């Protein structure tokens, strides 16, 4: 009996080819790029929301400062070190916006609510009255 060895058209492979690995890496890079494109705007929006919350907290601290008998502060630094020597109303971290700039204090509105504001990196005003609101309404 005559036995022929017929070569196997698909030999057993023990590894991936370079082309298969490059395709997988390219797919991962594309997915990461799409994910970054979608996530980075959300990070800026969350910083704006943090700035809004901090400005509302500082507005409450200014009102407490005035109610405790102090003068209306000209800067947030007076909330950290009141002239009368009373304890500080806020900590130093609360006086910095998410971009590292100090909050500014403007004049109060007719009802006595102080105007606390900062500007984001794109120049948008963020205050205790809202995002993009330029002053007491």
SS (H, E, C) the chain: CCCCCCCCCCCCCCCCCHHHHHHHHHHHHHHHHHHHHHHHHHHHHHHHHHHHHHHHHHHHHHHHHHHCCCCCCCCCHHHHCCCCCCCCCCCHHHHECCCCCECEEECCCCCCCCEEEEECCCCCEEECCEECCCCCC
Please write the tens of the pLDDT for every residue from 33-92: 999 888 888 888 899 999 999 999 999 988 888 888 878 888 888 888 876 777 777 888
- Output the pTM of the full model: 0.70
Residues 112/45, Cβ–Cβ less than 8 Å: no
Comparing CA positions, the residue from 37, 40, 52 lying closest to residue 124 is 52
Residues 6+ apart with CB under 8 A from 111: none
C-alpha distance from residue 26 to each of 16, 36, 38, 94, 113 (Å): 15, 15, 19, 43, 55
Please write the tens of the pLDDT for every residue from 12-42: 667 889 999 999 999 999 999 999 888 888 8
Domains of the chain: 29-131 (3.30.700.10)
């Amino acid at each position: 009996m005559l036995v022929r060895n017929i070569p196997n058209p698909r030999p057993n492979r023990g590894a991936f080819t370079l082309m298969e690995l490059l395709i997988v890496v390219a797919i991962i890079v594309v997915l990461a790029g799409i994910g970054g494109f979608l996530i980075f705007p959300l990070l800026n929006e969350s910083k704006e929301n943090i700035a809004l919350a901090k400005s509302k907290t500082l507005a409450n601290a200014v009102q407490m400062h005035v109610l405790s008998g102090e003068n209306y502060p000209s800067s947030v630094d007076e909330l950290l070190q009141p002239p009368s020597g009373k304890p500080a109303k806020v900590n130093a971290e609360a006086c910095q916006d998410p971009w590292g700039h100090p909050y500014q204090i403007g004049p109060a509105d007719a009802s006595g609510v102080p105007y606390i504001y900062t500007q984001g990196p794109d120049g948008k005003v963020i205050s205790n009255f809202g995002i993009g609101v330029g002053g007491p309404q």
